[in-house]
Structure 1
Amino acid sequence: MIKFATIGTNWITEEFIKAAKEIPDFSLKAVYSRTEEKAKQFAAKVGAAQTFTSLEELANSEDIDAVYIASPNSFHAEQAILLMNHGKHVLCEKPLASNTAEVQAMIEAAKQNSVVLMEAMKTTLLPNFQAIRNHIHKIGKVRRYFASYCQYSSRYDAYKQGIVLNAFNPAFSNGALMDIGVYCLYPMVVLFGKPLRIKASSMMLESGVDGEGSIILDYGDMDAVVMYSKITNSYVPAEIQGEEGSIILDTIHTPQKVEIRYRDGRIEDITEAQLHHPMYYETKEFIELIQNEKRESEINSHYHSLTTIEIIEAARKQTGIVFPADK
């Protein structure tokens, strides 16, 4: 059994716990919140016996093996490094941190303390992403990767009324690229590695974060185009175009249907059954790394996380997105 604590009392933490409880070796021991009242309320809701309001006490607890972090992006690095310095394994929500320097510091802490650090990017561990990796050779030379994730944020209505919630506050290292665009970029990096150069554009909001944006990425013999938004919806599928055919994904973040459309008109359904909650697969990967005494996922690897944040940071520099964490 791997004994977990969680940081964050939001809906994503609830979803994580729901998914993780499908795994026999998962044991939820504690939850953390800055306030005792919220910690107790959340613990009662999710069935945790213990609460923490001090990160230091959580880090020093011998009852905890691993921590799932779902706090605002700007807190990820500091919290993760503290926990890893006390021997805790860390599964941290995407994006892993605010910038490249923070991710590098987190990776160094993981190595120094011989603990698992993994970015909780669900997409790349889903059965249908594995199907893409298994079948991509069938489409011949890949010439383009296209991914769009545009989802109107429920918090945008409040923003338009003058209320700037966390999702649109640069103090928390948020915005469309960080929160949504990462879902387009991380799978691309796993499939194709690091691009040679990028060209980014963003639609900036008055609060100092991007509401939407696009990036063109040059790989030399192929290109990639990603679009993301927190202020509009999009309904177009993702596509990997090859010289012999194209792989079509219904969505980039949680693909449920994947097919190959060949140049000769044939259509091959390569969809794999997803039998569990989407967050089950990342949690299972993380737990198995701990149990097998491995320190890094081959798919959600340190290299893939570092490359993704390097792309994000380069795009931010091109479009003028600056966070307090950068200073």
Structure 2
Amino acid sequence: MIRFGIIGTNFITHSFLEAVHEVEGATVAAVYSRTAERATDFAKEYGIVHTFTSLDDMATSDVIDAVYIASPNSLHAEQGILFMRHGKHVLCEKPFASNVDEVKLMLETAREHDVVLLEALRNMFMPNFQILRQTLPRVGPVRRVILNKSQYSSRYDLYKRGDNPNTFNPAFSNGSLMDLGVYCLGPALKLFGRPDAVQANAVKLESGVDGSGSAILSYDGMDIIVLHSKIHGTDAPSEIIGEAGRIVIDDIASLDRLTFVGRDGTTEELATEQTTHMKYEIEAFVLMILAGERETEIHSFDDMQLLADVMTDIRRRIDVRYPADV
């Protein structure tokens, strides 16, 4: 049984706790919060035995084998490295870290201490992403890919009222690309590899982060258009378009529906039914530990570094910089 500790008591942590109950061989044994009251309340709500208000104490404890990090993006690298140096396996929320340099250091630490380190980019682990990969040859030579993840953030209203929520605060390494664009870029780079060239634009907010943006990844004979936003929403699907047909993706982050459309207009539904979305990343992580494996082909060290590299490059092009970039 892999015993998890949790860092973070936000909405994504609640989703993690719902999903972990569906994974055989996993349990949550501890939770960290900066305040004892919050840690205790959260632990009581979910029946968690151990609480911590010190990350050092949690990292050195013998009550956990692994940690799930769902803290602000700017803290991912520091916290992940702390736990890995104490022999704990790390499942870290997307985006993995503030920039590619931090990701490289995390990967080096995982190798040095022989632990599992995995970015919890959920759509990469879903059964329907594997179906998408297997179906790709049917569209023929791919000529254009349009990947979109745009949804209006409730925190944007707070921002417009003059508050400074984490979502739009560069101190926390946040913004539209990091929060939503990553859902597009992860699959794009896994399917097609490193682009030959990158262009990018963004609507930059006064706080210094991107509220929305776009990027074009150029390849020999094709291009990928990435659209992302936290200041407007759209139900527009994503598409992989080839000479023989196209694959329509309802939501690139959840991949609940995939439709193959042939050049002649015929359609075929491809998706299988998926359960709790976060289940699949947790399951992959646990199986790696139990099998003594340190990487997975689904989202390898090379994949994680390439994703961070391209995202760091895009941020340079749109002039979004974080304190962590210094």
Task: Please classify the TM superposition score into its range, dividing by the shorter chain length.
Answer: over 0.9
1:267-299 Cα deviation digits (max 9, x unpaired) = 12111111x200000100000000000001211
What residue number does 1:26 align with? 26
State the distance in 2 between where 1:297 and 1:14 align: 26
Q: TM-score, normalised by structure 1?
A: 0.98
Q: Which stretches of structure 1, 4 residues or more, deviate above 2 A after TM superposition?
A: none
State the distance in 2 between where 1:3 and 1:166 align: 29
1:128-177 Cα deviation digits (max 9, x unpaired) = 11110111111111111111111111100010000011001000000001
State the distance in 1 between where 2:32 and 2:300 align: 26
Shift of 1:24: 2.3
Q: TM-score, normalised by structure 2?
A: 0.99
- Counterpart mapping for 1:84-233 below 5 A: 84-233=84-233
Q: 3-state SS of the aligned residue for 1:299?
A: helix
Q: 3-state SS of the aligned residue for 1:321?
A: coil
State the distance in 1 between where 2:219 and 2:296 align: 24
State the distance in 2 between where 1:10 and 1:130 align: 29
Q: 3-state SS of the aligned residue for 1:184?
A: helix
What residue number does 1:49 align with? 49
Shift of 1:301: 1.3
What residue number does 2:296 align with? 297
Given that 1:14 and 1:46 are in contact with CA atoms closer than 8 Å, whether structure 2 keeps it comes out as no
Amino acid at match of 1:218: S
State the distance in 1 between where 2:266 and 2:280 align: 31
What residue number does 1:311 align with? 310
What residue number does 2:60 align with? 60
State the distance in 2 between where 1:47 and 1:105 align: 35
Flag structure 1 segments of 5+ consecutive residues without an equivalent.
none
Shift of 1:221: 2.0
Whether 2:268 is the aligned partner of 1:240: answer no
How many residues get paired? 326
CA-based RMSD of the aligned residues comes to: 0.8
Q: 3-state SS of the aligned residue for 2:48?
A: coil
Shift of 1:47: 1.7
Shift of 1:84: 0.3
Q: Is 95-104 or 37-46 further displaced after alignment?
A: 37-46
Identity over aligned pairs, percent: 49
Whether 2:73 is the aligned partner of 1:73: answer yes
Shift of 1:181: 0.6
